[in-house]
Structure formats: C-alpha cells, structure tokens
Structure 1
Amino acid sequence: MKHRCSLVWLAACLLSITPVIVKAQQPAGENDANLSELLYRPIKPTAKIMEGAEPSRQVSATRSSVNVRSLRAAPKWNLAAENVASPIHIDNLQLLPEKVTVKKADATLYCTPPTVTIGCCSYNIKDEAANKNLLYASPAAVFSNEADARTFAQSLTPKVPFFLPYTNSKVYPAGAWKYDDGSGHGSVDFLKTADAYGPGIDPTFGVYASAAGKVVTAMWDNFFGNVVIIEHKATDGTLYRTGYFHLRGGFDHDLARAKVIPVSDPTNKDARDTKYKKFANLPNPSTQLWGTNAQQLKVKVGDEVYAGQQIAWAGNTGFGGAGWGLNQDGTPSNPNTGNNHLHFMLWVKSPGAGADWMEVDAYGVYATSDNSNSSCYEVGASGGFNRFFAPFYPSFHNVPVQYITRYWGYYTGMGMSLQTLSVHKSGNQYLASGSFQYGLPTAWYCRINMNGTQYQQYFDEYYGKGYIPRQISVTNDNAGNPLFTVIWQQKGNENFAAVHNATDEVYAAKWKTYVEQQKMRVTEHVVYYVGGKRYHAGVFGSSNPGGFYMYYGLNTTDFTKKFDELNKAGLMTVNVNIEENGNQNNVGGLWWPRNKAYYSYMNMSPADYQAKFTDLTAQGFRLFRVQGYDNSSRFAAIWMK
C-alpha cells in the first residue's frame, strides 16, 4: 500500500501510516493557562493567610507571490573516501559562550530571604510504601543555628525539574514559606483568585504531580485530610519528595471521615477540630464546598506518575485545612470557598539526624507573602537561594529572552542540552522558543543575539575548541541590524564551511565552490533581510553525505508543491525557514533523504503550536526545530521520532 503525505499550510509526513492524534485529557471544568506562560506569568499579590502556624504533631501538578530562487539538489554520492584531514577555511560565523552572562535582576525584585530555620513545622507522616512513619521536619529540627541552615539551603540545586502543581490560570500562591505575622509555615498554599468563584461555582482546581516519581503515601489524615506524597529520583540518585494536602477524596468519603474525627476539647469553640466537626454535621452539605463523589484521589500507593499527571483535586479536607476558614458554629467564613486550597510541600533528604526529610522552599525565597514581597515569587527575582520550581518548561515558546539567560543553568545543570532555539521579537521585546532535552550530546555551546562581529569572534573561539555551528536563528535589532543566535556541536572528521551576512551573489558563489566543486551538502541555511535586502547564513558540510534539496524565496503555494514533490521522492524537511521581509513572508526549506518519522508544520498560532506539541509529544515525537515569526504570533516547527 502507498501512503501519501501532503502539505496545505500545515505539513505532516511520516515514514508509514500517520498515527491517530489523541489529545491530552484535561479535567472537566478546568480553565487552563497557556502552558508556556504559566510558570513565569506575574504573580498576583495577596496578604491572605490560608493557614496559621501549625504545631509539631503526630500524623498517621502568508503571503504574496515573489520571485522564486531555488538551488538545485546536489547529486547523490558517497563521500566516505573523500574526507580529508585538513578543514576547509571558515568564512564568517560566531558562537555562544560556555556560560551565558546572567543579568542581575532589578533592585525592586531583589529579595532578602528571612530566617530559614523557622520553628515550624514538623510532622510524622506514614510512608505507606515502606509501612513506617517518617519525620518530615523544618530546618530548625536539623540545624542548631541559622548560619548552617542558610549555607545548606544555598547549596541546594534542583536535579530534576519541578513544575507548578496546577494548570488553572486563576490559581496563584496565596500563602508562603513564612507568613506576614512571622509565624512559620514551611510550605506554599495555592488557591484561586477571588474573581474565580462565587455562589454555585466550584472553587476547586486540578492538582498535578510536580515531577515524575512514585507515590509513597495516599491516605486520609484527620488534620491534613486527603494526602498524597510522591518521591522523585534524579539521574544522579538525588531524592526529593513533594506533598499535596487537603485534597478531595469524594463527597461521601470526606463527609463521613469528617463527622467522626475525635475532638480534643469539645468545650473549646474556637478549636479547629471542633469547628470542623460542626462543619461536617451542618444540614444539607454543599457539593460546592465538599466536592462530588467523582472528585477522588486519582493515584494510589506504588503508582508511577509523570510530571503534569493529574493526581487529585484541591479541597479543604482535614481540620488543618477547612478549620482555619470556619466560624464557631461550623459555617464557612467565606461561604463560596470553605477555605479550598492546595497545601504544597517540597522536601530533600535530611542532611542531619533531626529528621528523615527536610522542608525547603520550592520558590527558593523563604519570604513572607505580604504585598511588598509578592514580587519575590516572580521569575527573574533574585534572592539568596536557587529556585526549584521551573522558570519555564524545557520546551518553551514566547518566553522573554532574559529568563532564558537568567536561568540558563536550570536545565543544563540536570544534564539537558539545547536541541533548538529561535529568538524572535514582539514589538521591541525579544522572545525565545526552543527545547532543552535529555539524550543529546552534553558538549555544546550556544550564544544569543550576537551581532556580526561578535558572531565571528565566537566562531573563531569555538572552532579552535573543535566546535562548529549546528543551528542558526536570526532576528533584527531595533535598528534593523541582524542578530544571530547559534548552537554549536562538536566537530567530527568532516570538512565544513560557514557563512553569514552573505548576499545572493556571494552565497551562490559559495554554493558553486562547496556543493558543485567540493561535493559538500548544506547542513544549515537561513535567509534574513536587512534594509529590504536578502542575506544568507549557513553551513556546508561533508558529514552524512547524500542527495539533498534546498530552496528559498518560495511563496507558500510553491513551497507546498515542492514539499509534496520531495515527499514523494523520499525526502524529509530538516529545516523550514520563514523569511520575513516587512509585510511579506517567503519560505525556504532544506530536505535530506528520509530516515525517520516526522511532522512539519508552519503558520501555527501559539495555541495551535501548543496543541500540536502536546499531541505529538504524547505520541513519542520530540521537537527538532522551531521558529517564531510575524511578531511572535506564528510558529513553524518540525518534530521527529
């Protein structure tokens, strides 16, 4: 049977039958945020306290047509016997440094951390997988002084990415590591903004595993309500645990458990357990406050979960949850929420004998939650500790470039490498789209927004270290001059040549020399415009010899025809380059012999791109290349398996 691949604005091609795309499932009623923006969108300030200090106790997340300029395919040949030891002289290029310079945050976002060794909170919680109680404790239980605790906290760096445990765009951190009045907390509380609930509106939201791991606890506790604890293991063996508290476990289950909790002092009308038991025994309990029977824990002990897998629904279970938001008679002080929120904790293995697991601030702030310090939770804020919550997803789009440079070590420190990176503009702001991935060579370089002189300087430096450009992205500064973003890879035994700022005439001459005469092929090519004039940047190489095709200056109709033609000939796109020239876009492409399944799309809106990424990732495809264009409103991308 023959299978046909076609492109009409959006192109897709596979080696065999195109698999069925299954969209990722989302909980009913969820108001999902743009996943690329969720982790760095501004934090809404609040002074609201969800819980008070909790004493130590025992407890059992196009355009118009233009002239077409095409370059014919080089003939197919085998260059294995033609490689020579001496490299071809390089023309013009540049590189990115070993370390991207981190700009210091604005003074208004520099946060001075308060005391790390808060005197709260330590809990004995059952590890159901190991069938024993473990002590999850404050740094104060482990360190005898603040200086040692602070030194240890400053040494901590995340070895696995941790993501916010929600996707709902109305959720924000309402309670911090340490509260306004100085009482300790040792965790972060999340809830919806005030405009996200009202009479008859369920205040809950989906709770998701913050990182991949194994469920070690999934139980009911009278104080914490429904609890889930997940253990996470980094590639180097480092262990972490995250805890999710006050979750919903089903209307009947939660109400029945709350009605029979023991009360320590029935005469104390202000006691949280007393008020909570009254709350459970109020007539006509509302599903708005208690949830439905369908809103149960979605995981059990022993389950392996992936980052972002839904594990539960936020709730108010346990007198440590709802009890803070109840009047003496058991009625909610806020009748619309009943203090529905997620209490989230992050632990590292304790460095001392005072606990089994020690609490750390997932934001790396250890700050209060009052309005003056709310900016400390925003991406880009500087403090004395490393942030554990990811500043952006490993595959990201439309992220301000300053966040990429500010948190350059977040993913690279975990052994990830940069597969693709595109810098593009939105007005006068530089945005970035790309992907950090595991399984790539760990020796590489990248530099962002270099001018032509800087690019040449870095090219020379990295070439001297044995690296050559692998991928190039070009945007323009506010004066219209080109800025180059380049990823380098280690050079093998192949010959290569590289150019940038080459006119059509210069590039054609290079083509004749390297392709027609020296039998090399194009491994990278981008077109960009300066003052309405077309320029080229790219790389010629002798590695992976074989036939190839390269075209540029095509309108979308001609590009579509060429895509179909070359697909039938057994080639695949390894680069789709959108050539922006004022109000007119053209398209160029680079094709190699097809040897794997792939998808290629262009003209995607940010929402389209997010949807395609989600669907294709679920099918095992990895982002190979991405480009943002049209004022960051459109994307072209290639996925491969």
Structure 2
Amino acid sequence: MKHLCSLLWLAALLCTIPMITKAQVPPEENDANLSELLYRPIKPTAKVMEGVEPSIQQRPVANPAIRGNVNVRALKAAPKWNRISDNNGQMISADNLHLLPPNKVTVMKGNAPSFCTTPTVTIGCCGYSIKDQVANKSLFYASPASIFNNEADARTFAESLTPKLPFFMPFKNNKVYPAGAWIYDSGSGHGSVDFLKTSDAYGPGIDPSFGVYASASGKVVTAMWDPFFGNVVIIEHTAADGTRYRTGYFHLRDGFDHDLQNAKNTPVSDPSNKDARDTKYKKFANLPNPSKQLWGTNDQKLKVKAGDMVAAGQQIAWAGNTGFGGAGWGLNQDGTPSDPNTGNNHLHFMLWIKSPNPATGVDWMEVDAYGVYAKSDNSNSDCYEVGANSAFNRFFAPFYPSFHNVPVEHVIRYWGYYTSMGMGLQTLSVHKSGSKYLASGSFQYGLPSQWYCRINMTSAQYQQYFDEYYGKGYIPRQISVTNDNSGNPLFTVIWKLRGGENFAAVHNLTDDAYAAKWKAYVEQGKMRVTEHVVYYAGGKRYHAGVFGSSNPGGFYMYYGMNTSDFTKKFDEMNKAGLMTVNVNIEENGSQNNVGGLWWPRNKAYYSYMNMSPADYQAKFTDLTAQGYQLFRIQGYDNSSHFAAIWMK
C-alpha cells in the first residue's frame, strides 16, 4: 500500500455509508414504485398497479450478504504512467439478438391498433377563458377545432408534435387510472383526461381523493376558484429550446370550509331547471351534514399559489369534485351523489401548447397527453398503455429518465423520448427476469451530445459495431453483459467520442487470456483499465473491458472476490483516497462474486449493492435530493437486486 501515498493529496472526500430513509408521503397515499408507475399497464380494473414491493432493510456495500468463498485474483497498477502512442485501438478475441439504433432515432410511431377508436383530433372540448394571475389577464384555451378548419390539417399538425421536455403522471397513487379521455363515451369532446381511483380503493368512510403532483417543472400562473372548474391550478413549462406548454389541474380541493362556502355561493343560471349542473351542485352544497369524505378536510388545501416555481413531481393539491363542472355530472336532481362513496371525485388534467395560429383568438390549444385522441369507453383502455401503437407521439413519459426494471422493449421503442430532448445515456444495464429482458439506467442532461448505444448484441454483432464506430472515432465507455436463453453472452455497450488517447477493447477472454492482455497493456504498455466486467457462459468465466492510455493516476482492479472480502477492500481503498467507479456483480448460478475498479477520488460518491428494487428506489430518491446523480447501475439476481454508484 506504500505506493498509494502519492494519491493522498487528492481531496479526502470520505465515502460513508449513510442512514437513509424513504421520503415521507401523505398518509392517505398508497405510494407506488416511481419507476414502474409509468410503464405498467393502466387499465380500469380493481387490480390496477398492485403488487408494490414492501420496503425492507437494505444491504449496502459495507455489510453485504456473503455468497461463499472463491479464489481472489487482484490486479494492481502503479500510480503514475506515461501515455503510449503505439496502440491503434483494437477489438480482441471477437468471436448474435436485439439491436438498438444510435441516439439520433426519433420516437417510434405507427398506425392505431384495431382496438383503438379512430383518433379524432378536432373533437376536443370547448373554448373558455381562464385568468392568468401572473399576467393579470384572461387567456383563451380551446380545442384544435377552434384553430383548424378540417380534421386532416389538425391531424397533420398533431403528428408533428413531439415533447420537448418530459411530462410525468400527475399522481403517485397506485390505485389511480385514466377513466375519461379525449372524447366522452357519448362522442362529445372532453379534450383532456380524467383520473380517479379504482373501485376497490374507496368505500363508506374512505376518502376517494389522492395527491395531485406537478407533471413537469414550471411556474404556477393560475391558482384560483372558478364556479365551473372549482379550484384550478395551471402551470407553465418551458423546455430547453424555448417551447412552452401548460398543464391544468381542475376540480381540486382547497379546504372543507372554503370549498363548501364557494359552492353555496355558486350563481345559478336557471333555478327552475332541476337537471342543470349548477342547480344540482348548489343543492349538493346545501345538504345537511356535508360529508368530509366527499368534500375533504381543511388540511387538504392547494399547496401552491400563482407565481410559485414548482418541480416535477412536487405535490400541488388534492383531487376533488369542486365546481359544478366537476361534481354536477355525478349528482341526482336533489343534489345527492349518484355514487355516495365518491361524489364524482377525480382529477381533470389538461395539456396545452401555444396556439399555432394566435389570429384565431386562441392563446393555448389542447393536446392529448397520451397521443391517442380516442374515446373513453373501456374498449380503448389498452390505448393508454406504454407500447400501444398510435399515429401520434405520447407526451407522458413512458418511464422516468432514471429507471429500473423497465422491459427492454419499452426502452428501445421510446428511445427518442429523452434523446430528442438533448439527454444522453449515462448508464444502462440489461438483466433478465426469467426469460424476459429488463433494463435499468439513466438518461441525463449535461453529457456529451455525440455517443452511441447498442442493446443485447451477440459477440459477432459487438465486433461489427465496434469496427463501425471505431471508424467514426468512438470507443466503448460502458459495458453490460447478460445471457440469452441458451446461455450465450449478450453485450449492451455505450460508446463515447474518442479523444487523443490510445486504447484496446476486449471481450470473451478467459482468465489466462485476460491476464496476458493485462501484462501487455498495463505492465508493459503502462495503460490503465477504464472498463471491466466479468460474466459467465457455459459455466466458464470471461472478461470484457477497455484499456486506455489516458491515465491521470494509479488505479486498482479486483475480481472474483466474495462480498465479505470485497467489503474489506472497499473500506481499505476508500481510506486510501480512491473511489469506486465500477462495482461488477459476477453472476454464476446461485453464487455471486464481486469485482471492482478504483480510481483516485476527485468527487463525493456513494456505492451500494444488494439493494432490492424498493431499497434502490429509496436510495435514489434520497441521494438525488442531495444533488447526487446516478453514475452506474447493474441489475442482477433475476432482476431482484441492484448495485449502483452515485456521484456529485
């Protein structure tokens, strides 16, 4: 360890194992796994989005489960080397399934499937003025029919729309589903989507409300009472390229006393019309002993005001039934709710873009956030699922930019969702659950704009794309390996634009073959390891990785360690001023070994392994709130555990 002394001048950013607890959510919420929430099927059934894994004590690197003893092979490098200039970059020992196009791919689209109602863009809803409290003036919000003279033009325009920033579901409760869509069952326009709880999530004495969250970051421009819409929040969102959107949240709660008094003060256009929604709504407000189950409590108030800046996923309100446009459809003539358990409690959610033709008098035009433009009847419920074909782009994110256990076909299908916004792929791990392939990774801003990624390549395909991208000036940056159903290795690789360094990339090397390359490139060529993974095929251990000449300091690399020995080595390296840049779980049937790669520490970081999906979500939530970004992730043990590194 004497040769590490020269590294101690680096900032001593001690990596400790923190005590992390899951972020608190309101007790009324049944919080779902945030990564899984957006891509699991959304159907109006009593069983929608169930089965969230309960939180258990996580097992960090400092205290991992012991998987058994194996032979340890330590590969160590001197702290300083001169770069070399005689290696031209090569793929060594190249010896076949799912391919991912480069990062320039657009969102995939297709014809609407047969179970979807033929989309009708122009049948949105209405035209109405709502005050922009920040601008202090009323603005006109309307359907595409107010702007386009015919359906063909409206469809052409709608097909051209792509999201310029991510929009997330405005709820986190795993009992909520979309019940009302662009067109009502009757065929009349709705121009939005209604969200409410499944029937098994409410009953006598059970609050039918749920938390409402900002769909994207932005500025609150309206937070007020309207007799028809009830309590309304409108948020304006601005993408990096300047594109502006607005989202609207209607029929919200703002405290029992406030909402009841405003309902009682609702002006009635024709008191003699017993079927009018405003008449029934006023009767509803004047029923004796109004139910807090239906009206909410004084604690359930709007959490924002006009002028506030909000973050995506920040709670802004509670769903309700305020305004005669919210409750009126669910009331009998005498003002009693047709469903006494809900009183038509729901969230009416709207997405608008700036009007493509302000000369029409329309300031903001309605857009279907699902990109379906279909009817609300149950035959169309599959149209809202991630992966459903549609002629239009989906604005709701198919999964979060940092995601885990997402079916790999969803990552491939919606590849352009984040890349078209200027995000790059920091890390990607493909791992199996039974015979299915799942993916975990992170799209992030601030990464180099030039890169490539390919998913589940065979050895021959990896060689093919290595040659192609090397010819374009790219080298592998990160490698993930899983196996096909026959046990053959499949490679998922992220390439970066090559600088002036020389390098050599290897895969499918046995221990002895890798040791020979180590001797040639590290001991003789004075290169360092920039990437290394161990995997098994046919019961035999293999190596893949990259050697590079760019060497700002010494490094250590170990593989084949049991978790107890790895933990000791982790602590030793941390105290010596090095940081973990890769923790590689080496899966070999029921026995896992561990390898690691350490570089001189120049930033704060956290490294954990043996985390369950729930543990990983809790860690991610806490560490990102502290300003850390996911640096690397690996899923393993049939996708039931994760190893991850965060850096700041």
Q: TM-score, normalised by structure 2?
A: 0.92
Matching residue within 522, 539, 542 for 2:546:
539
Q: Do the aligned residues in 2 keep the contact of 1:96 with 1:488 (CA within 8 Å)? A: no
Residue 72 of structure 2 corresponds to residue 73 of structure 1: no
Residue 179 of structure 2 corresponds to residue 174 of structure 1: yes
* Corresponding position of 2:52: none
Residue 114 of structure 2 corresponds to residue 98 of structure 1: no
Q: Do the aligned residues in 2 keep the contact of 1:109 with 1:382 (CA within 8 Å)? A: no
Where do 1:563-582 residues align within 5 Å?
Answer: 563-582=570-589
Unaligned ranges ≥5, structure 2: 1-11, 47-64
Q: Do the aligned residues in 2 keep the contact of 1:473 with 1:486 (CA within 8 Å)? A: yes
Residue 17 of structure 2 corresponds to residue 32 of structure 1: no
Unaligned ranges ≥5, structure 1: 1-12, 48-61
SS at structure 2 position matched to 1:596: coil
Aligned-residue offset at 1:91 = 1.8
Between the aligned partners of 2:633 and 2:275, the Cα distance in structure 1 is: 58
Q: Do the aligned residues in 2 keep the contact of 1:174 with 1:369 (CA within 8 Å)? A: yes
Judged with a 3 Å threshold, the aligned counterparts in structure 2 of structure 1 residues 172 and 530 are, in CA distance, closer, same or farther, namely: same
Matching residue within 399, 406, 410 for 2:406:
399
Where do 1:271-310 residues align within 5 Å?
Answer: 271-310=276-315
Q: Do the aligned residues in 1 keep the contact of 2:435 with 2:485 (CA within 8 Å)? A: yes
Q: Do the aligned residues in 2 keep the contact of 1:46 with 1:374 (CA within 8 Å)? A: no
Between the aligned partners of 1:472 and 1:165, the Cα distance in structure 2 is: 35
Judged with a 3 Å threshold, the aligned counterparts in structure 2 of structure 1 residues 530 and 119 are, in CA distance, closer, same or farther, namely: closer
Between 561-570 and 192-201, report the one with greater CA deviation: 561-570
* Corresponding position of 2:615: 608
Where do 1:143-182 residues align within 5 Å?
Answer: 143-182=148-187
Q: Do the aligned residues in 1 keep the contact of 2:116 with 2:379 (CA within 8 Å)? A: no
**CA offsets per residue over residues 333-376 of structure 1, 9 Å max, x none?**
00010000000000000001221000000000001121221111
Between the aligned partners of 1:184 and 1:71, the Cα distance in structure 2 is: 67
Q: Do the aligned residues in 2 keep the contact of 1:364 with 1:388 (CA within 8 Å)? A: yes
Between 147-156 and 38-47, report the one with greater CA deviation: 38-47
Between the aligned partners of 1:106 and 1:584, the Cα distance in structure 2 is: 46
Between the aligned partners of 1:460 and 1:541, the Cα distance in structure 2 is: 17
Between 472-481 and 174-183, report the one with greater CA deviation: 174-183
Where do 1:512-527 residues align within 5 Å?
Answer: 512-527=519-534
SS at structure 2 position matched to 1:220: strand
Q: Identity, % of aligned pairs?
A: 79
Between the aligned partners of 1:109 and 1:499, the Cα distance in structure 2 is: 47
Q: State the AA in 2 paired with 1:513.
A: A
Aligned-residue offset at 1:68 = 2.6
Where do 1:83-162 residues align within 5 Å?
Answer: 83-84=84-85, 87-92=88-93, 97-98=101-102, 111=116, 113-118=118-123, 120-162=125-167
Between the aligned partners of 2:482 and 2:17, the Cα distance in structure 1 is: 34
Aligned-residue offset at 1:522 = 0.4
Q: Do the aligned residues in 1 keep the contact of 2:253 with 2:300 (CA within 8 Å)? A: yes
Between 448-457 and 70-79, report the one with greater CA deviation: 70-79
Where do 1:182-261 residues align within 5 Å?
Answer: 182-261=187-266
Judged with a 3 Å threshold, the aligned counterparts in structure 2 of structure 1 residues 107 and 344 are, in CA distance, closer, same or farther, namely: closer
Aligned-residue offset at 1:40 = 1.1
* Corresponding position of 1:43: 42
Between 414-423 and 35-44, report the one with greater CA deviation: 35-44
Q: State the AA in 2 paired with 1:538.
A: G
Aligned-residue offset at 1:103 = 8.1
RMSD, aligned α-carbons: 2.0
Where do 1:437-516 residues align within 5 Å?
Answer: 437-516=444-523
Q: State the AA in 1 paired with 2:43.
A: K
Aligned-residue offset at 1:543 = 1.4
Between the aligned partners of 1:406 and 1:385, the Cα distance in structure 2 is: 14
Matching residue within 308, 322, 330 for 2:335:
330
* Corresponding position of 1:360: 367
Q: State the AA in 2 paired with 1:497.
A: A
Q: State the AA in 2 paired with 1:542.
A: S
Q: Do the aligned residues in 2 keep the contact of 1:279 with 1:329 (CA within 8 Å)? A: yes
Q: State the AA in 2 paired with 1:31.
A: N
Between the aligned partners of 1:93 and 1:101, the Cα distance in structure 2 is: 31
Between the aligned partners of 1:166 and 1:149, the Cα distance in structure 2 is: 30
Between the aligned partners of 2:585 and 2:531, the Cα distance in structure 1 is: 14
Between the aligned partners of 1:107 and 1:141, the Cα distance in structure 2 is: 25
Between the aligned partners of 1:169 and 1:456, the Cα distance in structure 2 is: 43
SS at structure 2 position matched to 1:320: helix
**CA offsets per residue over residues 166-187 of structure 1, 9 Å max, x none?**
0000000000011222111000
**CA offsets per residue over residues 592-629 of structure 1, 9 Å max, x none?**
11110000000000000000000000000000000000
State the number of aligned residues: 613
Q: Do the aligned residues in 2 keep the contact of 1:92 with 1:499 (CA within 8 Å)? A: yes
Aligned-residue offset at 1:93 = 6.5
Between the aligned partners of 1:583 and 1:118, the Cα distance in structure 2 is: 57
Between the aligned partners of 1:104 and 1:411, the Cα distance in structure 2 is: 15
Between the aligned partners of 1:598 and 1:639, the Cα distance in structure 2 is: 5
Aligned-residue offset at 1:28 = 2.2
SS at structure 1 position matched to 2:324: coil
Judged with a 3 Å threshold, the aligned counterparts in structure 2 of structure 1 residues 332 and 557 are, in CA distance, closer, same or farther, namely: same
